[in-house]
Structure 1
Amino acid sequence: MWWDERVSARFRRNLQPTLTYWSVFFSFGLCIAFLGPTLLDLRCQTQSSLSQITWVFFSQQFCLLLGSCLGGVFKRTLAQSLLALFASSLAISLVFAIIPLCHNVVVLAVVMAVAGLAMGCIDTISNMQLVKIYQKDSAIFLQLPVPIAVFFLLYKERMVPCFSSSSHPLLSADELAMEARPVEKDDQSASVHRAHAAGGHDDLFSCCQSKNFRGASYTYFAVHITGALVLFMTDGIVGEYSGFIYSYAVEEPLSVVHKVAGYLPSLFWGFITLGRLISIPVSYRMKPATMVFINVIGVLITFLLLLIFSSSVVFLFVGTASLGLFLSSTFPSMLAYTEDILQYKGCATTVLVTGAGIGEMVLQLLVGSIIHDQGSYSFLVCGMIFGGLAFTFYAFLLFFHRMYPKPSTDMDAASPDKPAVMDDTGQYQR
């Protein structure tokens, strides 16, 4: 059974925040997905060329990166996180009302930059909060009227001045029990360990402080860097494929009918959604490292077959579905795997989200320029190269994982997940 009672109990205790953090990704996904199938229409609306409209992608992804860094600033308290999510989801709703009024490519780029800032905040804060809630079980929960849902959570937490609620703060049963009883010596050490582990999810600016680097081995940095590079490539592939698959399909030699080609981005995102759903039970039985390995190999093989059968419209649809399936769980599995290597210390969440954001920003701009200069066939060649680089960086990550020092038994003994029990003397021991 992939869903045991321990995981089920933790999910029930955190049902409301979990559903809310999941819901905000609908806004995030909407912004990511809509540009691809509307690219040619936006070109006509703004009377711009392909190379000019590509800068709209860049502005969105660049500000997504800034928003990812900015999102780490708002994570210091729950109130800050929820207010930032509420403002971000509301901003995205307003952006979609403004887009039809943008008849200049520069204005459109500015509007999408605002959306990018909101997307970055959503991405960082939601992933960070889910990892904090579920810790080693986070791989399962990272796999899935939005402002209303966030506003309801604000209301439940009594953070809206004009409303009142009798609900309790978002604390698990274990945390409430810890607050209700006296703090013993062992609990003090466990609390210090918990504070140290929670501090591992600092924002990008806090990561740069020298205190985080003291005593760190080269493998500590290598795990952060190689993990970010894998997501740089895989999330870059998601961005460039969803952004240009429609334009690629309607060009020669395929010359797919525009209406039919419009199904390709939908198929791609549909199988990403399906893959996320499938990965929920799979992630319980399969290690995140294995899932990422299968994903990067699948992406590489899919692009190879797309190149071989590049003249087949049928295989273009098959390959698009396959690519979405393999890319679907790469980010959450990679996040869970890297955090597990580092024992929830360091800056893995922020560094990986930042790396993924840079990948989508840079690779979309790069591929758009290459297609403009070299033709549509270069679209698949670029994907093949990016897939090969993702596999290479993942191989390096596996190597550095083997070199990374194992956690000490003292650290394990102080783990906050280990329950406290009372001994014969009346003291709580772990």
Structure 2
Amino acid sequence: MNSRLLDRNCNIVLKVVDERLWALFRSRWQHTLTYWSGFFSFGLCLALLGPTVLDLRCQTQASLQGITLVFFSQQFCLFVGSSVGGFFSKSYACSLSSLAVSTFTISAVFAFIPICRNLPMLAVAMAITGLAMGVIDTISNLQLVKLYQKDSTVFLQALHFFVGLGALLSPLIADPFLSDTDCVLGNSTSNFTNSSSTLRHMRNKLAGRHVYNESHFQFQTEGEVVTRVSYAFWIMALINLPVPIAVLVLMYRERVLTCCSESSPLLLDGDRQLGTPRSASEQVDLTSQEHLEPAGHANMLNCCHLSKLREVPLSFFGLHIFGGMVLFFSDGIVGSYTGFVYTYAVASPMNLPHKMAGYLTSVFWASITVGRLASIPLSYRIKPVRLLTFNQVGVIITLFLLLILYTSSVFLFVGTSFLGLFISSIYPCMLAFTEDILDYKGCATTVLVTCAGMGEMLLQLLVGSVINSHGSYSFLLCGMIFGVMGFAVFLGLLLVHHIHKTHSRAAASPVSVVEKSEANGANH
């Protein structure tokens, strides 16, 4: 009898939660879909460069070593764009304007890349896409956190699902237009056979964004260029074009077509119906508070005014530092694994065929996408901190097993799948968890996104140099070290959270005592 009653109560609770989340989404559907589509653009741009880089080398007639410059320019400017993205969020109007400009820039650059005939021009174009991607990353995460607050975990999982979806689709779209042989037809004889298997090997190798010890591959740099890669970029530009149009439609609906508009936008007019009814004066106060004073999203120091900086506990800064370092290591693992798992698989002792090893990166991205999709229903049944703990432990166990079973090609695919599943939801859960601790002021989002971009860039460089000097086996060892360090930092974050919560209670208790004494005095 008790078990039936418990099951019935659980079903009622889940039904209420589902209805409440669905009501939240219905009132914010246009905003949510716009941010999701922006992250789809992010994913398209993130994964398109790797498969097309050899054809772009032909187009610019660059050397194999020189073409890796475009990887660095995009990755570095992605980090810069993530860092400055918070400054474009000083108002709701500027956030949408920046998002519209960034998403349109991606389409414009995709259309422009086919006419880049030299390496510096291509590097500048990819740097611009990196800046646009960084701004999209920060603004979309920040606005969704502000939009849903305590319910943001579910919608952040869906947001990051669209990155994986875009990253899966763009290589599939580009594949029919890639050259099967060396696309620069020169008069001299190359030092290797221009076979499709060789080019496939080099494409997978270049996914690591750095080339080490590949001087024996001599590609032609002068001659007739024969490539159809332009069609891939033009198709991607058209696919991405509805995204800035959707942002402009949202801006028109919110009456913020001019950046940093002084007029109050009509953001979420339907939200007032979700809670208890408010008076007209309360609605005006809420509107002015939400839309005319969002400057706290610009940077961390604005969240604690400079005049009150001494009153801010050290745990406030500790939450930002430890939260950022967790994402530094988790995104660093994602970047280094996608970059160098192929290099590890084709080297001794694994020695997988080039074609089979090339599937590993796709398996990893597919697992991340599936993991984020599965985390959407889990996010409102499991608290973010518990999901984070489970995923962090899962990452360490998977990397440890990969390290032990380093000669098993079967477990390499199995482990890659599980690693993608476990690591998939760490990013969105960490954003939701940290912002929840800090009362959704938006400060943590910019810091965490920037740290994630820094980790992806720096740890790839570190792993590449270690592999070059110590061999391919060090790839898994580096991943294990990063995983342990990330989990240690996460435990530090939980400790700082406990200290911060204790400090907040201690700071609030004197106020409660004063209010209670005043109430007793009024009664007497």
Structure 1 residue 173 corresponds to structure 2 residue 235? no
Q: 1:225 to 1:327 in 2, by over 3 A?
A: same
Asked if 1 retains the 8 angstrom alpha-carbon contact of 2:91 and 2:292, the reply is no
Structure 1 residue 225 corresponds to structure 2 residue 328? no
TM (norm. structure 2) is 0.68
Q: 1:202 to 1:212 in 2, by over 3 A?
A: farther
Residue in structure 2 matched with residue 147 of structure 1 by the alignment: 244
Q: 1:36 offset after TM fit, Å?
A: 5.0
CA distance in 2: counterparts of 1:296 and 1:209, whole angstroms: 34
Residue in structure 1 matched with residue 477 of structure 2 by the alignment: 381
Secondary structure at the aligned position of 2:406 is classed as: coil
Asked if 2 retains the 8 angstrom alpha-carbon contact of 1:48 and 1:105, the reply is no
Residue in structure 2 matched with residue 270 of structure 1 by the alignment: 366
Structure 1 residue 138 corresponds to structure 2 residue 234? no
Tell me which amino acid in the other structure corresponds to 1:13.
S
Structure 1 residue 353 corresponds to structure 2 residue 427? no
Q: 1:218 offset after TM fit, Å?
A: 1.3
- Structure 1, 334-343 or 33-42: larger mean CA deviation: 33-42
Q: 1:208 offset after TM fit, Å?
A: 9.0
Tell me which amino acid in the other structure corresponds to 2:372.
R
Tell me which amino acid in the other structure corresponds to 1:246.
Y
Matching residue within 15, 20, 25 for 2:34: 20
Q: 1:410 to 1:311 in 2, by over 3 A?
A: closer
CA distance in 2: counterparts of 1:109 and 1:296, whole angstroms: 36
Q: 1:124 to 1:333 in 2, by over 3 A?
A: same
Matching residue within 366, 369, 373 for 2:462: 366
Structure 1 residue 332 corresponds to structure 2 residue 428? yes
CA distance in 2: counterparts of 1:148 and 1:260, whole angstroms: 40
- Structure 1, 338-347 or 120-129: larger mean CA deviation: 338-347
Tell me which amino acid in the other structure corresponds to 2:36.
W
Residue in structure 2 matched with residue 237 of structure 1 by the alignment: 333
Q: 1:152 to 1:31 in 2, by over 3 A?
A: same
Residue in structure 2 matched with residue 48 of structure 1 by the alignment: 64
Secondary structure at the aligned position of 1:368 is classed as: helix
Asked if 1 retains the 8 angstrom alpha-carbon contact of 2:90 and 2:296, the reply is no
Higher relative contact order (CA closer than 8 Å, sequence separation 6+): 1
Tell me which amino acid in the other structure corresponds to 1:263.
Y
Residue in structure 2 matched with residue 77 of structure 1 by the alignment: 91
Q: 1:251 offset after TM fit, Å?
A: 3.2
- Seq. identity, %: 55
CA distance in 2: counterparts of 1:332 and 1:172, whole angstroms: 27
Matching residue within 102, 127, 131 for 1:113: 127
CA distance in 2: counterparts of 1:124 and 1:249, whole angstroms: 34
Tell me which amino acid in the other structure corresponds to 1:317.
F
Alignment of 1:149-228 (within 5 A): 149-159=246-256, 169-175=266-272, 181-183=280-282, 198-203=294-299, 206=302, 210-211=306-307, 213-228=309-324
Q: 1:35 offset after TM fit, Å?
A: 4.7
Structure 1 residue 299 corresponds to structure 2 residue 395? yes
Q: 1:99 to 1:355 in 2, by over 3 A?
A: same
Asked if 2 retains the 8 angstrom alpha-carbon contact of 1:58 and 1:362, the reply is no
Q: 1:247 offset after TM fit, Å?
A: 3.0
- Structure 1, 93-102 or 279-288: larger mean CA deviation: 93-102
Q: 1:241 offset after TM fit, Å?
A: 1.2
Matching residue within 140, 143, 163 for 1:129: 143
CA distance in 1: counterparts of 2:114 and 2:300, whole angstroms: 35
Secondary structure at the aligned position of 2:380 is classed as: helix
Asked if 2 retains the 8 angstrom alpha-carbon contact of 1:199 and 1:345, the reply is no
Q: 1:250 to 1:76 in 2, by over 3 A?
A: same
Q: 1:390 offset after TM fit, Å?
A: 0.3
Q: 1:137 to 1:373 in 2, by over 3 A?
A: same
* Superposed CA offset, 1:77-115 (max 9, x none): 333222211221222234444556667665544333212
Q: 1:87 to 1:358 in 2, by over 3 A?
A: same
* Superposed CA offset, 1:48-87 (max 9, x none): 34xx666544432321121112221221233322221122
Q: 1:175 to 1:19 in 2, by over 3 A?
A: same
Q: 1:363 offset after TM fit, Å?
A: 0.9
CA distance in 1: counterparts of 2:424 and 2:461, whole angstroms: 22
CA distance in 1: counterparts of 2:506 and 2:291, whole angstroms: 18
Asked if 1 retains the 8 angstrom alpha-carbon contact of 2:297 and 2:443, the reply is yes
Tell me which amino acid in the other structure corresponds to 1:48.
L
Tell me which amino acid in the other structure corresponds to 2:480.
M
Residue in structure 2 matched with residue 90 of structure 1 by the alignment: 104
Residue in structure 2 matched with residue 323 of structure 1 by the alignment: 419
